[in-house]
Amino acid sequence: MALVLIGANNPETIRVINAINRRPLIDVLGFIDNDPAKKGIDFFGYKVIGGFDVLPDLIKDHLFVNLITRDCITRYETSKYVAEKGGHFANLIHPSVNLEMVEVGVGNYFQENVIIQAGVSIGNNSSIHMGSLIGHESKIGNSVFIAHGCNISGLIEIEDGVFIGTGATFLPRIKIGKWSIIGAGTVITKNVPEYSVVAGVPGREIRQLEHKYTSGDIF
């Protein structure tokens, strides 16, 4: 079955596809994007088919990968909608990523040169961007976004819906509560409460967020 990609925004996705297809392994039908201005355009050689209006024609015979990373709530809501309509998800993972002795769910998107050490587990619908490091035996939940260049030490638990900004650093054996936001460049030295915004060196809680969702699993 061909892939349908949700969100025609970042050309880095095309590099991931091209790297995989040098083998070749995947067939991509195109993108869906709810921005009506993008319908029918050519996105680096792949057509934007339409928005959610075209889902009924695609659900049965295609697999989906969500590329949206601007915030974890939008990522979760978009994938949840597709799943509830009967959509099935696949992983889009750059071939440079070594997944030996790693557990990975479905609907995940990992970019180039992500390092994931042995014993790590990652849930569904999460995304890790270029050059981030996930230390041994860490646990990443569902609908998590880890921006590029993050350093996540070993034995860390990151719960559902957490958004981690560029270049954040985490000391070992720390728990990051669900639906939290970690600012770019933050250094996390202790546990982070659920639904909190944390920033600075060392990281400090700035404010609490709305408790909109509990789980980030799309199934």
Catalytic residue IDs: 136
As given in the structure block, the two tokens for residue 213 are 């969702």
Task: Tell me the backbone φ, ψ of residue 133, rounded to 5 degrees.
Answer: -120, 125
As given in the structure block, the two tokens for residue 72 are 């974890």
Which amino acid, 213?
Y
Q: List, edge to edge, every strand of the sheet that includes 151-152.
A: 115-116, 133-134, 151-152, 169-170, 187-188
Q: Do β-strands 169-170 and 187-188 pair in parallel, antiparallel, or remain unpaired?
A: parallel
Q: How big is the chain, counted in residues?
A: 219
State how far the Cα of 124 lies from the Cα of 219, in Å rounded to an integer.
9
CA angle 164, 168, 172 (to 5 degrees): 100
Contacts of 37 (CB under 8 A, 6+ apart): none
CA torsion sign for 77, 41, 3, 107 is negative
Which amino acid, 151?
N
